[in-house]
Structure 1
Amino acid sequence: MTVLAVLAVLAALSFASVFVVPVILAILLALVFSGPCRWLRRRGIPQPVSAAAIVLSLLSGVAFFAAALAIPVAGWIEDAPRMAQEVEWKLRNLSGMAAAVVEAEEQITKAAATAAAADEGNGPLEVVVEERGPLTEVALGAPLIVAQTVFVLILTFFILASGSLFHERLVSVMPNFSDKRRAISIAYDVEREVSRYLLHITLINAGLGIAVGIALGALGMPNPLAFGLLAFVMNFVPFVGALVGLVLSFAVALVNLPSLFDAFVVAGVYFTLTSIEGQVVTPWLVGRKLRLNTVVILIAVAFWAWLWSIMGMIMAVPLLVTMSVLCKHIDALKPLGEFLAGPGPDRA
């Protein structure tokens, strides 16, 4: 029964992802900004006013990112086939074996085309239906993305504007005083750990984005601002985000810069900056307070990516932090918390 219940929950989460993902994202944003809202309320600013200011700031940030990335990303998507061909031709010079393989592939293709031409009069007429291009797919998905973004912002506003209503309802449903105190402790601990993690990661990613933009601009890359913004956004996804940014920067450099060496320099600089961030800066600022198993983080990113695609990868670590906090407070989950924990000062 337990296995069936887990499978049913996973199926429901996957089927209702269009609704569930924005709700969870709004809750995470509310956890991040609930502390500043309470701080402003203690200084005489009403909760709805501070909530509206925060949501408007988020809306301005989303609009800035969309405006800054729309033209470069659309150009990359439109030129993806041409970029792939140029990358293929330039990479042929790396190995004579690769050139031989390509030549053999071309000969096989010509032989197949000759055989097909010989049988052209005997075979049925073939009808080719062109598939929709990537820009068409993006345009078709844009209304849903806009609607989900608006829903996230509206829900975040109402959660923040409600103030301590959630905590009051949580206390009222608990049967005794010890359960009430534990529930409040868990709620505030989750809020503190998730907000601390997201705040630190946002600041670290902002610094990485600035460094990437400046470095790639100095190397002559086109649209260095777009690469800086992409590095900022993609670095919210552990491991995978840095790899995607590295591959994309190498491909664009290979197409737009004069030589293959220049492309490798760009990729090397990007790799160096992300390595410094991942191996030095983030462990120093975040790892001292948040200790999670690296293997568990990678599994969580892969699992939520499989379930919810890109947004799942972005929310994987905050959800893992939430689970880790729950494991600290609930006795039945403490063995799972030991499994989630990474190496610490007391772990050899």
Structure 2
Amino acid sequence: MLALLALITALALAREFLVPVLMAFLLALVFSPMCRWLRRRGIPEPVSATVIVAALIGGLAAAITAFAMPISDWVQHAPDHMREIEEKLQSWSGVAEAVSDAGKEIENAADAASGSEGATEVVVREGGPMSRIAFEAPLVAAQTALVLIVLFFVLASGNLFYERLVRVMPTFADKRRALTIVYDVEREVSRYLLSITIINAGLGVAVAIALSLLGMPSPLIFGLLAFALNYVPFIGALVGAALVFSVGLVSQDTSFDAILAALTYWGLTAIEGQFITPMLVGKHLRLNTVVIIISVAFWAWLWSVMGMLMAVPLLVTFRVFCKHVPQLWAIEEFLSGPEIERRSEDQDEA
């Protein structure tokens, strides 16, 4: 237990370093099969790695250029939008008014308890949203650069890590098991990430078109948000629907239009989550739904947004590792879904 607590503490303290490094290795798992495919056709790994990293930089720059201005405008006018949302919510019920009255009563009680009428009031003004974004921007830029640098060198090294892994294993059985684990992790994670990326891209296009037809502002931004948030199971759909509803209260004429936009977003994510993803990914993923929710919550608590994005790939990696270690088969069965099917070779080894 002490070792586990120490490990969790180390993961939390080393967040700024571990998050970009792990993200780089997850991306390397996705692009490594492509680099090997290109190598068999005469293109060396450094060239493939350069092209892949350049494409990622170009896509990232295009996304920032296209969406920086609308997002900055939203953030800059966030206080005004919050007041408008509060005013519209007040027309639904007296909840907001009751909360405001309760806040005033608490403030009056605090003043009476202090008993100092002539006390000087000290107001601490925090920076606005834009100032916080500007404060965090250098760290985000440095972590992004670290992701791209580590990704380039991992891809350019080819099978160097696999060769070193084989050399350090003491016996032939250990060498074989280590390579099996590595290649299974690569296959499962790359298959999951590529499949979910294609599905999320289709969802983003559908959300952008649907919200555009409903008259929502900046439908492309909502499409991008749907694409990014859908990497987080369950929670991403809730956050996206809440954002659509909030913006709809400000931009739409009636509250019914805002509810319709949020329900449309929720309906598209429900169709994706209940039919499309299980059909294309479910039979390969085979993870316990409760474990997925707990994993997302744990990594969100530990590493915030990036932790939520990496929660499922890390869970897939751990399940594959447990699958090939007989002492951890009980954990693997707990992590897997109801339709787990063991390979015959695993049964023979047992």
Using the alignment, how far apart are the partners of 1:25 and 1:70 within structure 2?
A: 23
Q: Give the TM-score normalised by structure 2.
A: 0.92
The structure-2 alpha-carbon separation of the partners of 1:5 and 1:216, relative to structure 1 and needing over 3 Å to count, comes to same
1:123 alignment partner, one of 111, 118, 123 = 118
- 1:145 paired to 2:143: no
Which residue is equivalent to 1:344? 339
Deviation of 1:73 (Å): 2.0
The answer to whether residue 284 in structure 2 is matched with residue 289 in structure 1 is: yes
Counterpart CA distance in 2 for 1:294 and 1:114 is 47
* SS in structure 2 of the partner of residue 287 of structure 1: helix
1:68-79 equivalences under 5 Å are 68-79=66-77
RMSD: 2.3
Q: What is the letter of the counterpart of residue 6 of structure 1?
A: L
What TM-score comes out, normalization by structure 1 length?
0.93
Structure 1, gaps ≥5 residues long? none
Give the alignment partner of residue 264 of structure 2, picking from 269, 274, 299: 269
Amino acid at match of 1:337: E
How far apart in 2 are the matches of 1:261 and 1:170?
59
Q: Structure 2 unaligned runs (5+)?
A: 343-350
Structure 1 Cα separation of the partners of residues 149 and 340 of structure 2: 42
In structure 1, which of residues 198, 205, 230 is the aligned counterpart of residue 200 of structure 2? Answer: 205
CA distance in 2, matches of 1:65, 1:292: 32
Moved more, 59-68 or 334-343: 59-68
The letter for the 1-side match of 2:8 is L
Q: How far off its partner does 1:134 sit?
A: 1.5
User: Which residue identity is paired with 2:225?
Assistant: L
Runs of 4+ in 1 over 3 A off after TM superposition: 103-117, 119-122
Instruction: State the shift of 1:346 in Å.
Output: 6.7
Contact 2:209-2:219 at 8 Å conserved across structures:
yes
1:87 is matched with 85
* Matched residue type, 1:341: S
SS in 1 for 2:284: coil
Alignment of structure 1 residues 292-331 onto 2, 5 Å = 292-331=287-326
* 1:68/1:226 contact within 8 Å kept: no
Classify 1:109/1:205 alpha carbon distance in 2 versus 1 (closer, same or farther; 3 Å).
same
CA spacing shift, 1:76–1:175, aligned 2, 3 Å: same
1:176: how far off? 1.2
Moved more, 28-37 or 55-64: 55-64
Aligned to 1:7: 5
* Per-residue deviation, residues 99-152 of structure 1 (Å, max 9, x unmatched): 3761684497399679979x9994222121211112111110000100100110
CA–CA separation in structure 2 for the residues paired with 1:246 and 1:36: 35
Provide the rounded CA distance (Å) in 2 between the counterparts of 1:254 and 1:100. Answer: 17
Cα 1:28/1:123, change in 2 over 3 Å? same
Is the contact made by 1:41 and 1:47 (CA closer than 8 Å) also made in structure 2?
yes
Aligned pair count reads 341
User: Which of 212, 224, 228 lines up with 2:223 in the alignment?
Assistant: 228
Mapped contact 2:86–2:96 kept (Cα < 8 A): no
- Which residue of the partner structure matches residue 52 of structure 2? 54
Q: Which residue of 1 aligns with 2:64?
A: 66
Match of 2:232 among 237, 253, 259: 237
Change (3 A) 1:161 1:105: closer
* CA distance in 2: counterparts of 1:245 and 1:231, whole angstroms: 7
- The Cα of 1:328 is off from its aligned counterpart by 0.9
CA deviation vs aligned residue, 1:315-343 (integer Å, no higher than 9, x gap):
00000000110111011111000100112
> Matches of 1:51 and 1:346 in 2, distance apart?
36
Q: Once the 2 structures are TM-superposed, how far is the Cα of residue 68 of structure 1 from its aligned partner? A: 2.6
Alpha-carbon deviation of 1:240?
A: 1.1
Counterpart mapping for 1:30-45 below 5 A: 30-45=28-43
| Percentage of matched positions with identical amino acids | 58
58 and 111 in structure 1: CA distance in 2 versus 1, 3 angstrom threshold: closer
